[in-house]
């Protein structure tokens, strides 16, 4: 399938007509509103809705808003309806209503270079999982030794902690190095100051569209149908702050300062051809966690790092989402099993995605093995952890036949820590 928008037909674009991911954009002096990406263009959905070319059965407009939540809350039927209508409008040779309307096309199609992207949805809540087995094993080996690498519950349940929705930001937002307490190795007492071991975590973020009621668990199949789509997610982590604070209740300030996501939400429908199965289980899962079919995804991922002033970025890792031990539907099912209400706009991080080889690890903690094996970058610089001015970029795509379903980029540049007050 091709689009009449030529830039959507190159094999290198992240946004062919088979994708149509959702986001929120604005231009100068205009209010943010919902859009889809097609080739190198942003398609204004509010303009299509106002022109009568896009209708998802809602009683009032849902795309003239600064977030996707109203549309996502309509559920799977509305999502499918929108996808069919948009595909027909953008595919070559189908519905010519947009293609032949030069005035509407001039208003509704905006070059990406002219668009400012915003957080695509209002984040109702944020939960970060720990579902990458290689990552969990690597971290366990570093801190507990190989014989106790995985916690005893890890092969039975998807482990997670509740993070901060308030500091989830869109790609391109600069991140300030966090302040906090940490206890350097060999010291008797903690110190206070900027984190010295700042890190990234390469993750996928699952976006909940349909909610469930408090006290009502969901099946894995029901959870799968609740998922609107996925984003790239970087769960920035201050490893030294984390090491001092995490016992007995887990991460807190080490993770709360920032989480970056890509501006485009790639729908579960667009990723459906790339479903794959989770790995064989060493311990049989309880029935509520057993999948009825492939519910994980084959998505290529990579991380690049570019120091301030460097001529080019260095690719420091390449891995794949299919390395996860638990699928997004299993994570969502377990989240709700005790009666937790999941809301439209909830964001669930997959956990750090690491493959079996060292160049497939999803964090600097692993790539440098706790700072003992510095990374060599283009231009001769080395890194143990992130330094001020470094720009980190996540990329991801599912590779199809002659096209790919991509997420764009998830980027962030580290700024110096805030000026310390006279505490």
Supply the residues annotated as catalytic. Answer: 135
Please state, in angstroms and rounded to a whole number, the distance separating the CA atoms of residues 156 and 208.
23
Contacts of 384 (CB under 8 A, 6+ apart): 197, 364, 368, 371, 374, 375
Number of CB atoms found within 10 A of residue 203's CB: 31
Q: Which of 160, 205, 214, 164 is nearest to 334 (CA)?
A: 160
Please state, in angstroms and rounded to a whole number, the distance separating the CA atoms of residues 330 and 158.
8
Please state, in angstroms and rounded to a whole number, the distance separating the CA atoms of residues 366 and 303.
13
Q: Which of 139, 127, 136, 141 is nearest to 155 (CA)?
A: 136
Number of CB atoms found within 10 A of residue 378's CB: 15
DSSP states of 116-156 as a string?
Answer: EEE-SS----EEEE--BHHHHHHHHHHHH-GGG-S-TTTTT
Rounded to whole angstroms, what are the CA distances from 345 to 33, 66, 220, 257, 305?
Answer: 16, 13, 19, 20, 30
Please state, in angstroms and rounded to a whole number, the distance separating the CA atoms of residues 230 and 296.
12
Please state, in angstroms and rounded to a whole number, the distance separating the CA atoms of residues 56 and 69.
14
Please state, in angstroms and rounded to a whole number, the distance separating the CA atoms of residues 17 and 198.
38
Q: Which helix or strand (DSSP H or E) is residue 331 part of?
A: helix 328-336
Pairing of strands 347-349, 126-129: parallel
Q: Which helix or strand (DSSP H or E) is residue 237 part of?
A: strand 237-238
Q: Which of 202, 227, 211, 213 is nearest to 295 (CA)?
A: 227
């Amino acid at each position: 399938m091709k689009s009449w928008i030529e830039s959507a037909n190159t094999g290198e674009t992240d946004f062919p007509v088979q994708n149509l991911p959702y986001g929120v954009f604005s231009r100068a002096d205009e209010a943010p509103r919902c859009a889809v990406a097609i080739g190198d263009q942003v398609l204004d959905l509010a303009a299509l809705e106002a022109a009568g070319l896009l209708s998802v059965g809602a009683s009032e407009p849902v795309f003239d808003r600064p977030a996707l939540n109203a549309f996502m809350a309509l559920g799977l039927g509305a999502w499918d309806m929108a996808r069919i209508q948009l595909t027909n409008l953008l595919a070559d040779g189908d519905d010519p209503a947009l293609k032949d309307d030069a005035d509407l096309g001039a208003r509704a199609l905006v070059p990406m270079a002219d668009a400012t992207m915003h957080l695509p949805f209002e984040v109702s809540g944020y939960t970060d999982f720990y579902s990458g087995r290689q990552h969990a094993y690597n971290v366990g080996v570093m801190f507990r030794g190989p014989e106790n690498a995985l916690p005893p519950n890890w092969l039975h349940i998807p482990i997670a902690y509740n993070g901060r929705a308030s500091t989830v930001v869109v790609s391109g937002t600069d991140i300030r190095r966090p302040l906090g307490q940490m206890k350097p190795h060999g010291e008797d007492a903690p110190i206070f100051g900027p984190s010295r071991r700042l890190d990234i975590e390469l993750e996928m973020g699952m976006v909940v569209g349909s909610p469930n009621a408090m006290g009502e668990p969901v099946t894995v199949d029901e959870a799968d149908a609740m998922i609107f789509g996925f984003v790239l997610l970087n769960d920035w982590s201050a490893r030294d702050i984390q090491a001092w604070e995490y016992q007995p209740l887990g991460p807190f300030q080490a993770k709360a300062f920032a989480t970056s996501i890509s501006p485009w939400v790639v729908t579960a429908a667009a990723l459906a051809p790339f479903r794959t199965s989770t790995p064989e289980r060493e311990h049989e899962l309880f029935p509520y966690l057993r999948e009825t079919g492939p519910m994980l995804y084959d998505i290529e991922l990579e991380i690049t790092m570019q120091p301030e002033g460097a001529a080019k970025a260095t690719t420091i890792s390449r891995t794949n989402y299919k390395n996860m031990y638990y699928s997004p539907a299993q994570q969502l099912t377990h989240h709700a099993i005790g009666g937790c209400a999941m809301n439209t706009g909830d964001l669930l991080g997959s956990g750090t995605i690491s493959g079996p080889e060292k160049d497939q690890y999803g964090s600097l903690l692993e790539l440098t093995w706790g700072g003992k094996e510095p990374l060599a970058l283009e231009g001769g610089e080395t890194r143990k952890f992130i330094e001020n001015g470094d720009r980190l970029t996540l990329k991801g795509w599912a590779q199809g036949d002659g096209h790919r379903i991509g997420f764009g980029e998830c980027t962030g540049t580290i700024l110096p820590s805030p000026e310390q007050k006279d505490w």
